[in-house]
Structure 1
Amino acid sequence: MAHAVDPARTDAVILVGGQGTRLRPLTLSAPKPMLPTAGLPFLTHLLSRIADAGITHVVLGTSYKAGVFEDEFGDGSALGLDIEYVFEEEARGTGGGIANVAPKLRYDTALVFNGDVLSGADLGALLASHHEREADLTLHLVRVGDPRAFGCVPTDPDGGVTAFLEKTQDPPTDQINAGCYVFNRAVIDRIPTGRAVSVEREVFPALLADGLKVCGYVDATYWRDMGTPDDFVRGSADLVRGIAPSPALKGHRGEELVHEGASVAPGALLIGGTVVGRGAEIGPGARLDGAVIFDGARIEAGAVIERSIIGFGARIGPRALIRDGVIGDGANIGARCELLRGARVWPGVTIPDGGIRYSTDV
């Protein structure tokens, strides 16, 4: 018989990996899980959801800048958590990362998260599903409109996982791995140690081959992989507007989030879930739509920023247009420049007034 769910007797494991994101090296001030997202380190939103679910013990495993995480979150008490840290000398994949943190686990069940996913899954319901089905492993699965860009995970009518399939142009299901798993401790103990291990290609298929019970928990809640600049901008905007849930934002919902110490001049328009970081300056007549403005950036009069990231301390000159772009830390974009979709400006680069345009006229 399945035992009662006690979130306080469940470990949470967060794997934050290295610096593998297309945001780098354009913004260098922090590892991606620490970049301000709706004004808070991205990982804060996940940690707040873990605490809200009643889970208290968290193990954070990383192979990159481990000290940055401990400096920010300490022992976790400020979030109502007990956080421990485990460092890998080299990245060993999701499976190797899970095996690496195993000595820190306290309980028979562990909820494992990929640290670069923004999700609204009900963690309590996920845990309950795992225990009610008496599963050895449960995967959070989400349905996407175009599963061709992902590996897919078909399930039988009872929710049992039947296969783990690579990317294909004709996927048999729209269900994909959402990067969140419930492991029984005995399954974690099966994972090889001391080397790189892929859960998708090695661990999960082996469990099916050995007859263990692997289940899928499918829901339609919010989900976004934050691995690209476009997803990072959209995820931040969704948090500000309340589309993506985060207890850390304490109910904030609106078209903009302006942090303490920022200044917004009269006549500036902030819409679309725009975030303005601490110490940033927004000039008169500027229009920001779904923009992420990091701390200390300066947006001059009449500039237009749409669905773009403006790095720490960067300057955007008067009447410049940045659309679907990323401007690196400390870059200086001159007046009347136009940088459109896909534009990337490296940290510290200066573009003179009128120095670049995208236009069909002269």
Structure 2
Amino acid sequence: MESLEEKVVAVIIVGGPAEGTRFRPLSFNTPKPLLPLAGRPMVHHPISACKKIPNLAQIFLIGFYEGKEFALYVSSISNELQVPVRYLKEDKPHGSAGSLYYFQDQIMEDSPSHIFLLNCDVCCNFPLPNMLDAQKRYGGMGTLLVIKVSAESANQFGELVADPITKELLHYTEKPETFVSDLINCGVYIFTPKIFDAIEDVYMRQEDRANVHHVTSFEALQITARSPPTDFVRLDQDILSPLAGKRQLYTYETMDFWEQIKTPGISIKCSALYLAQFRIASPDLLAKGDGTKNATVVGDVCIHPSAKVHPTAKIGPNVSISANVRVSPGVRLINCIILDDVEIDVSTELLMMWYK
């Protein structure tokens, strides 16, 4: 019988309507986390990865979208995976670490020994069970998923230095102006409940700085201008950087694929990565067709069961077709994501790689 202290929970940060602006106008009607990648909502991929975590008790989605926008999906995915998935709505953005602290009571209600924290806009193979094993070996407060990238692109992310033997996080800086390392933060973490103590310490320091009763009015203005709100705590600058080199944080390096889903264009690449992963792990999710009873399918393609694709159409590689789509005779599709309810015929002018 598993003990309570062995339970694990997962938290996925989904953001809110003020974020993901580069996905407009696509995100005006559908929240960015629910836009499709490889035939499933973007947030589905980290959720399904969490299902593989041993002793998983619950999955929490945290954001500041209205709850009704996620209600149907949360109910559906909970039934599909047979794991409780809950959406927790913030009253306002609290930062990635602040979000954890804001919902501490809900996250800790199963008394988990470990808490996974994932960003929704990350595309990777999510080696979560391996991270859990590594975290138990390290014995610190937390472990970061990291990957090596080109030196030219590293400064777009959080760069870090880790001990090559112990894997301890020695130094961390977010988007530095000068090159620090080609090892970057992937936005996937595992923590022990001690993370809440670290966040509380940040809150207390920020409240102390906000207490301007004994400073001049000029100093008060300077503090207000350069400091975030006292209830906003960033994971990178406020937690990772100060704890680096203190034997509290460690790294787990992935050798597999990783992308940050910043734009619709990158989504096309990420969809291809997930479709290729389906080919190995879930080939039943991919469409087949030779141009007789079904359309000709080339490479990795995902077609929703409700979509109607004419047998003379040629689809793929890297195509994801959503619900209730209609594809007419003679249509050729390649490297694209087709959203719900779209009708495409040979006269359709396709100017983007996302179609709605």
> TM-score, structure 2 length as denominator?
0.78
**Secondary structure in 2 aligned to 1:154?**
strand
**Secondary structure in 2 aligned to 1:190?**
helix
Displacement, 1:70? 2.9
- Alignment check: 8 A CA contact 1:7 1:124 kept: no
Q: Which of 1 and 2 has higher RCO (CA within 8 Å, sep 6+)? A: 2
The reply to whether residue 277 of structure 1 matches residue 322 of structure 2 is yes
Per the alignment, residue 100 of structure 2 pairs with 98
- Alignment check: 8 A CA contact 1:5 1:127 kept: no
Question: 2:99 is matched by which residue type in structure 1?
Answer: G
What percent identity do the matched residue pairs reach? 24
Matches within 5 A, 1:181-260: 181-192=189-200, 195-208=231-244, 211-242=246-277, 252=286, 254-260=299-305
Matches within 5 A, 1:322-333: 322-323=351-352, 325-327=353-355, 329=356
Tell me how far apart the structure 1 counterparts of residues 134 and 339 of structure 2 sit (CA, whole Å). 40
Per the alignment, residue 71 of structure 2 pairs with 70
The reply to whether residue 174 of structure 1 matches residue 182 of structure 2 is yes
Tell me how far apart the structure 1 counterparts of residues 13 and 148 of structure 2 sit (CA, whole Å). 23
Question: 2:33 is matched by which residue type in structure 1?
Answer: P
- Alignment check: 8 A CA contact 2:169 2:250 kept: yes
Per the alignment, residue 300 of structure 1 pairs with 345
Tell me how far apart the structure 1 counterparts of residues 37 and 131 of structure 2 sit (CA, whole Å). 25
Structure 1 residues 246 and 102, CA gap change in structure 2 (3 angstroms): farther
The reply to whether residue 140 of structure 1 matches residue 148 of structure 2 is no
Matches within 5 A, 1:34-49: 34-49=34-49
- Alignment check: 8 A CA contact 2:338 2:354 kept: no
Instruction: Give CA deviations for 1:319-349 in whole Å, capped at 9, x if unaligned.
Output: 63425x555x4xxxxxxxxxxxxxxxxxxxx
**Secondary structure in 2 aligned to 1:185?**
coil
- Alignment check: 8 A CA contact 1:59 1:84 kept: yes
Per the alignment, residue 168 of structure 2 pairs with 160
> Which stretch shifts more, 157-166 or 68-77?
68-77
Displacement, 1:141? 0.6
Tell me how far apart the structure 2 counterparts of residues 5 and 287 of structure 1 sit (CA, whole Å). 55
Tell me how far apart the structure 2 counterparts of residues 149 and 208 of structure 1 sit (CA, whole Å). 20
- Alignment check: 8 A CA contact 1:151 1:168 kept: yes
Structure 1 residues 5 and 275, CA gap change in structure 2 (3 angstroms): farther
Displacement, 1:77? 4.0
> Which stretch shifts more, 73-82 or 136-145?
73-82
Unaligned runs of 5+ in 1: 302-317, 330-362
Unaligned runs of 5+ in 2: 204-229, 288-298
Displacement, 1:250? 5.5
Tell me how far apart the structure 2 counterparts of residues 71 and 5 of structure 1 sit (CA, whole Å). 32
Question: 1:283 is matched by which residue type in structure 2?
Answer: S
Tell me how far apart the structure 1 counterparts of residues 82 and 6 of structure 2 sit (CA, whole Å). 12
Tell me how far apart the structure 1 counterparts of residues 91 and 146 of structure 2 sit (CA, whole Å). 31
- Alignment check: 8 A CA contact 1:154 1:173 kept: yes
Tell me how far apart the structure 2 counterparts of residues 245 and 174 of structure 1 sit (CA, whole Å). 29
Tell me how far apart the structure 1 counterparts of residues 195 and 284 of structure 2 sit (CA, whole Å). 36
Q: Higher helix proportion, which one?
A: 2
- Alignment check: 8 A CA contact 2:53 2:129 kept: yes
**Secondary structure in 1 aligned to 2:173?**
coil
Question: 1:185 is matched by which residue type in structure 2?
Answer: P
Structure 1 residues 30 and 39, CA gap change in structure 2 (3 angstroms): same
Structure 1 residues 266 and 167, CA gap change in structure 2 (3 angstroms): same
Match of 1:151 among 136, 158, 181: 158
Tell me how far apart the structure 2 counterparts of residues 120 and 23 of structure 1 sit (CA, whole Å). 23
Structure 1 residues 70 and 244, CA gap change in structure 2 (3 angstroms): farther
- Alignment check: 8 A CA contact 1:256 1:271 kept: yes
Per the alignment, residue 56 of structure 1 pairs with 57
Displacement, 1:270? 1.0
Give the length in aligned residue pairs. 306
**Secondary structure in 2 aligned to 1:139?**
strand
Per the alignment, residue 10 of structure 1 pairs with 8
Question: 1:110 is matched by which residue type in structure 2?
Answer: I
Tell me how far apart the structure 1 counterparts of residues 157 and 336 of structure 2 sit (CA, whole Å). 27
> TM-score, structure 1 length as denominator?
0.77
